[in-house]
């Protein structure tokens, strides 16, 4: 699902239109599906419309938390390409050629 598609669904749901699936967007999608189900019975079209949002798992940690706790290694683009692309002079690991 693209950011623009998420923004369109957010506008329909009446939540902040920012393209980010957070607690507000997810709660609104759950409410929309529940409301449709209570008035019409289970509605597969409504459920399918919001399925991506319903299935999305909202991360429990922010980037700031991860960096503060040093839970991850920050890799620069230069290091990434040095390790992943230049290891194969033809770039076939990424399906590209240099």
What tens digit of pLDDT does each residue of 6-63 get? 999 999 999 999 999 999 999 999 999 998 888 877 778 888 999 999 998 887 777 6
Q: Helix or strand or coil: residue 31?
A: helix
Q: What is the pLDDT of residue 84?
A: 64
pTM, 2 dp: 0.59
DSSP type of residue 86:
T
Question: Would you say residue 82 has pLDDT above 90?
Answer: no
Report pLDDT for 12.
Answer: 94
- Contact criterion met (CB below 8 Å) for 10 and 16: yes
Q: What's residue 98's pLDDT?
A: 47
- What is the three-class DSSP state of 92? helix
Which of the two residues, 83 and 50, has the higher pLDDT score?
A: 50
**Is the pLDDT score of 66 beyond 90?**
no
Q: What is the pLDDT of residue 83?
A: 67
């Amino acid at each position: 699902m693209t950011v623009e598609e998420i923004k369109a669904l957010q506008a329909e749901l009446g939540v902040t239109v920012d393209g980010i699936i957070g607690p507000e967007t997810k709660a609104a999608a759950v409410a929309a599906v529940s409301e449709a189900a209570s008035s019409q019975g289970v509605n597969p079209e409504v459920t399918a419309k919001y399925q991506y949002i319903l299935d999305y798992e909202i991360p429990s940690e922010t980037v700031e938390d991860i960096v503060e706790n040093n839970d991850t290694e920050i890799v620069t683009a230069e290091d990434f390409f040095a390790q992943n692309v230049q290891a194969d002079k033809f770039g076939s690991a990424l399906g590209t050629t240099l």
